Structure 1
Amino acid sequence: MKESQKITDERFMREALRQARKGLGLTSPNPAVGAVIVKDGVKISAGYHKKAGFPHAEIEALKKLGGNAHGCTIYVTLEPCNHYGRTPPCTEAILASGITRVVVGAKDPNPGVPGRGSQFLKEHGIEVTLGVLEEECRTLNEAFNKYITARRPFLIAKSAITLDGWTGTSTGQSRWITNEKSRQFVHRLRAQADAVLVGVGTVLADNPRLTVRLRHSTKKQPMRIIVDTHLRTPLDARVLDRISNSQTLIAIGPDVSREVLERHEKSGSTVVVCPVDQGRIDLTALMDILAAREITSILVEGGSSIIGSVLRKALVDKYYIFMAPKILGGGNGIPMAAGIGPKSMDGCIGLRDMQVRRFDDDIMIVGYPYYG
């Protein structure tokens, strides 16, 4: 491929990525996808997938042209589908439109349809270019990729700590360690996740709403999940309110009485009985239960106990750590991750592909855990 063509392809794929990001947090269990249609080096249409069951990005872009894109090139962040699901296959619409070239960012990770979209297009005489800005396109849908291949939600953990590693004082106070800009970014993470998960300890200590509160409006609220083995969540807890149109799911153990369970169900919550492991909710089993409910991504915002639990179970796929320029001092604060740590440094959990970003004086570290 000529260098000039490579530069052109990357330019329009970046525009397709911008389109795709408009759908982040709205398309689950489908991926977020963007498409751009180009004629003689000029963008003439664009679209993105808005919601599961709605037209895919390619169809949205084609609709604006009346379905006629003769001689055009379409740039799409994910390989066009070639199967019937909630919507017809995009490959047939592309073929019927007269498009002569398809530029794809990432291949469809669905193990049930490996490469079929590209194969169909090639067999019908359409030029296909694969792998343009592939890493960016794959990262955009890292939650979908995990869900469709492993049938498990993509688990994102978040912690806010002082410079000396504490998430709260000895009395449990933690508001506020980080600044407003950091907290607004966390609301963006909530908006992009299917669900926000905390332990009952956080509910009892902080009485949070766990809703998205951004300066601009959001089109959806994530499901709120409480890990509560003995169902201690008060009926008047703010996390149970229905004003925000956000659903609440409480994961409980098998020993909770039917009477207590029914009181919570009558309040509008979904209560799910889970297996227990050493007296606590089996978080691995809970992930399977949530995957069956088409929850593809979960933001874990709980305290020290739940963070320690998901790390020990090697369930965390991505970790955001917000560090404020504050020193708590002493040795009796709340640690970032509770529980019994390893006896040697060889047992540490590492972060790969780490990135660092500043929010005024706060520092955000994000990476992908690897477990020894």
Structure 2
Amino acid sequence: MNRSRHVVVLGTGAFARALVKAFAQRAGGPTVVHIVSGDHDRARHLAGLANAHAALADRPVRCCPHRLDVPGGADLRPLLGRHQPDVLAVCASEYSPAEIRGTQTAWAELIRAAGFGVTLPLQAATALRAASAAAEASPRTAVVNACFPDAVNPVLHGAGLPVLCGLGNVSTLVSLIRSELRIGDESRLKVLAHHAHLHAPPTPDQEVRAWLDEQPLTAVHDILRRERRRPRADLNEIGATAGAAVLDALTHPRDYFAGHAAAPQGRPGGYPVVITGRSIALRLPPGMSERQAVARNQEWSALDGITVDQQGKAHFTPGALDALRDHWPDAPATFGPQDVEELRTRQLALRERLHQLPAPTARAQEGV
């Protein structure tokens, strides 16, 4: 009998829930999934639900809950050291896009004006702690990150921490293209895309680049214009379900898995990749070099209001910095991995303050 593999999933939010359920239905061998959350009831409920999914799919998966508040500062090292998991999936951060949907607060207005990248410290802090814990307590564990990996993974990589790749984002967009064109075999597609492309870019020339059977897919803009109309919760679930394939390829290695991943080995943005065992490599379209692919994704990073260089140093774009300094006058223009914890603390205070204030547009309407 094959020994059970171990996977640790950090978080119980919408992405983590969809990821665990999808993985429970497709795992390629015996697996124990450790669901870690500060809310034990949520972890317990998700474990029970995923166990039911595994039983219905006849998959040898067992999920168990653990109460551990890693975003709040709890130490992940004992759990990792005890179980030596094959994969650690980071699906917990201190910012969720859902918190500003349909809200009219000054915080929501700031995110919309500055771009998603302004939340990087809130996204990166937990991932930094988790990757540090893995490096110390379970160095053979493959770390994958689902929290804004297009920017967070370059920060982790710059800090010298192990992060193999990310989940979601490019995989979500690939799945939308596959759905529209009814493509079963993902290896036929090669897509370059960034988290920013979950929304339509300002101009068509900034759109996702895609190839089907090694030929440019010229209809990608029209395809995504239609598919992006789906509810955001649906897009989140699609990305998590696609992520389960990557999780399975790393947990139960096979000869060859051709798919897509965000921020492989700390590169910005998302790429077509091949996973062999615990190794990941780019599988780029004909005529495109790695340097060109990375440069394209780095350009797209600015659409989120932030870029991260090869040393892991983050740079706000001028527009994002102006919007941020309207509420935080001494906000830094740049910061490195060593600054994340301090900036996280300051952003949490900023968010609490701005949540109490209506958006400027809402105040203006009230005065009419």
> TM-score if structure 1 supplies the norm length?
0.27
Q: Relative contact order, CA 8 A, sep 6+: which one is greater?
A: 2
> TM-score if structure 2 supplies the norm length?
0.27
Structure ranking higher in strand proportion? 1
